Structure 1
Amino acid sequence: MQKFGTEKFHGVNFAVFPNKGVLGSGEARKSMEEMAHKTHANWVILTPSGMQETPYSEEIRFDREKSCTDEELCDMIRFAQSLGLKVALKPTVNCDNGVWRARISFFDHDVPCEPKWGNWFESHIAFQKHYAQIAQRTGCELFLTGCEMTMTEHRETDWRKLIAEVRTVYDGPVGYNCDKYGEDHITWWDAVDVIASSGYYPIDDWENQLDRIEEVVKKYQKPFIFSEAGCMNIHGSALVPNNWELQGKEDDAEQADWYLAMFSACEKRDWVKGFGIWDWPGSMERKSPYAVCDRPAEAVIAEEYSRCAKNR
């Protein structure tokens, strides 16, 4: 096992799931500089994507237009490091048909002519190891072996094998990003160095959820971070921050209030080591409802990150 740093993880997910060319643009470098300066982040999370056609496809591809090139990813990692940021690399699988990755699943027993878990995990291991090698070569300080793969997580033996394979090419801390409400359903947290979760919890339910997660952290005695945490600037999103399809009027104040509530609740839990804000775009043209740049939430995050940095 590798030791994870003791300082607070003040992170931001940057230019998420970048298509080819996004990270290599001057706009992306300018945007990352602004992110580092405006939020006082000390970590950036980069999320190169691998694509499979449907939730039931066995092959994960990461050499097409929807995936960044290795060269531009390495250049962006080094640029982030030149700004004084630590880098967490989180290769993430998505589906071409738009179905959420949490629904990727297969029959638990092999059936002739049907897609199989074994074939999919073989492809997933190759995908993760490819980026783990990049993480090793560029000195990334954390490697997260995927995100929100909810319907795969019961495959304990397969996940333990994947993590072991990643460790053959990357010698830094390894973690996994489970989905919200999934922290206490994973039985293989002992295999990783860092427990990570997507913290999309209702504004009025943080205390209950933190009570539940705390039991997991106590059981496994691992550092814990919310490697994703965010809320859209849409009215009503604070109650269902995980619903990216929510429609409504813009409400910047509600987004800011959600962040205030999260920081306030987590401040009382010293086992919460930090956050990966979702998100900050590679250019303002790609600004999503979750983006915090140039919105009141940005100031809330900057205040929290700078305050904690002063108290270190």
Structure 2
Amino acid sequence: MTAGSPHDALVVPLPGGPVLGMTWGWTGVRGTWATSRAEASMDAMVRELGTTWTAVTYAAEQATAQSTTIPFRDAPALTDDEVRWAVRAAHARGQRVCLKPVVNVADGTWRAHIGFLDPEVPNEPTWAEWFAAYTQFVVHHARLAAEEGAEMFCVGCEMVRADAHADRWRAIVAAVREVYDGLITYNCDKYQEDRLTWWDAVDVISASGYYPLGGWESQLDRIEAVVARERKPFFFMETGCPSRRGSAALPNDWTLSGPPDGGEQARWYVDMLTATSARPWVQGWVLWDWPAALYPPEEAATNGDYCPSGKPAAEVIRATYERVADLSAARDGSPR
């Protein structure tokens, strides 16, 4: 996000300015939102990081990777009232909101592995059945996004096996547009930016940026070709690193064992934010992640998870967010 870069010609401005964001509330377990502790968590996020965007992010669970029903109205999924509460709470704190409903698998399988036989086989679960259930899930939450005035809606996250069904995804986006008139994005997984074939359907390209320390330049070169081809705004809908020794080399591995190491997390953030800030077509970040039930400040040094609260990375993030906000305000001629 530096002025005068040779990459400037690739910039298609994102309405509302840069995304200086954080993922809030994951995984969205019923009963953990709309509480005083959740209020305090969101207050701390805005105060510590200076965010301007909040991704209100939550999951419904299908039983297995081959299930074709998504019981999004059943516990432990959030209620609609809880989702509405979070959007309103973020707006009340001056945040723009991306509503991001996600499907998880209850048995622990990563959602990227949701998949079915192709071509379809009689008496086996099918892609058609799953996409029908998924469309119902997504459109329901798109209506909530419209009713609550969320500025962006994410139609899916890291659905790698499902990504190949381009026409079905275009149909989902079309169904969302019938009930929601804000910005629409899809959060592709890392290394998938140049493999997705239906970026034409969405307004904004977004991706999960979990690339290792020192490995950003080659990945940004690859993604830049996609941005140049599609001529659409781009930001990282997810990016982050645990505060755990060894995580900078594998920032996407939330199961990696190792002692807490806030310094390693901060070094990864310096590397990531320096590399991506130098590409003006990267129009922001939604970091991973900030829980609804935040740990006490005195536990920050022994917490090895992604949340940067109270850790050295928080200062790195805030300094970057303040700098980018100041540059954006100067370009727009408006005071911060």
TM-score by length of 1: 0.97
Quote the residue 2:324 is aligned against: 308
Cα displacement (A) at 1:42:
0.2
Cα displacement (A) at 1:190:
0.6
Quote the residue 2:186 is aligned against: 176
Is contact 2:64-2:107 (8 Å) kept? yes
Is contact 2:49-2:318 (8 Å) kept? yes
Quote the residue 1:293 is aligned against: 309
Is contact 1:18-1:67 (8 Å) kept? yes
SS of corresponding position for 1:132: helix
Cα displacement (A) at 1:284:
2.2
Is contact 1:148-1:178 (8 Å) kept? yes
Amino acid paired to 1:30: A
User: Quick check: 1:263 aligned with 2:273?
Assistant: yes
Is contact 2:34-2:86 (8 Å) kept? yes
Cα displacement (A) at 1:22:
1.1
Is contact 1:54-1:97 (8 Å) kept? yes
Quote the residue 1:215 is aligned against: 225
In structure 2, how many angstroms separate the alpha carbons of the residues matched to 1:288 and 1:124? 33
1:113-128 alignment, distance < 5 Å = 113-128=123-138
Cα displacement (A) at 1:67:
1.0
Is contact 1:4-1:173 (8 Å) kept? no
| Cα offsets for 1:175-230 (capped at 9, x unmatched) | 10000000000000011001010000001110000000000000001100101001
SS of corresponding position for 1:196: strand
1:1-312 alignment, distance < 5 Å = 4-285=14-295, 289-312=305-328
SS of corresponding position for 1:284: coil
| Cα offsets for 1:57-86 (capped at 9, x unmatched) | 111111222211111110121111011000
Is contact 1:14-1:46 (8 Å) kept? yes
Q: Mind listing any 5+ residue stretches in structure 2 that lack a counterpart?
A: 1-12, 297-302, 329-336
In structure 2, how many angstroms separate the alpha carbons of the residues matched to 1:308 and 1:211? 22
Cα displacement (A) at 1:281:
1.2
Amino acid paired to 1:149: M
SS of corresponding position for 1:24: coil
| Cα offsets for 1:147-181 (capped at 9, x unmatched) | 00001000011111111111110001101000000
Amino acid paired to 1:177: N
Q: 1:139 to 1:6 in 2, by over 3 A?
A: closer
Is contact 2:153-2:182 (8 Å) kept? yes
SS of corresponding position for 1:150: coil
Is contact 2:259-2:304 (8 Å) kept? no
TM-score by length of 2: 0.90
SS of corresponding position for 1:238: helix
In structure 1, how many angstroms separate the alpha carbons of the residues matched to 2:40 and 2:123? 49
In structure 1, how many angstroms separate the alpha carbons of the residues matched to 2:304 and 2:158? 20
Please, what is the CA RMSD of the aligned residues? 1.3
In structure 1, how many angstroms separate the alpha carbons of the residues matched to 2:35 and 2:216? 38
Across the two proteins, how many residue pairs are aligned to each other?
A: 310
Amino acid paired to 1:292: P
> Following superposition, which runs of at least 4 residues in structure 1 exceed 3 angstroms of deviation?
285-288
Q: Mind listing any 5+ residue stretches in structure 1 that lack a counterpart?
A: none
Amino acid paired to 2:279: R
Is contact 2:158-2:189 (8 Å) kept? yes
Cα displacement (A) at 1:311:
1.6
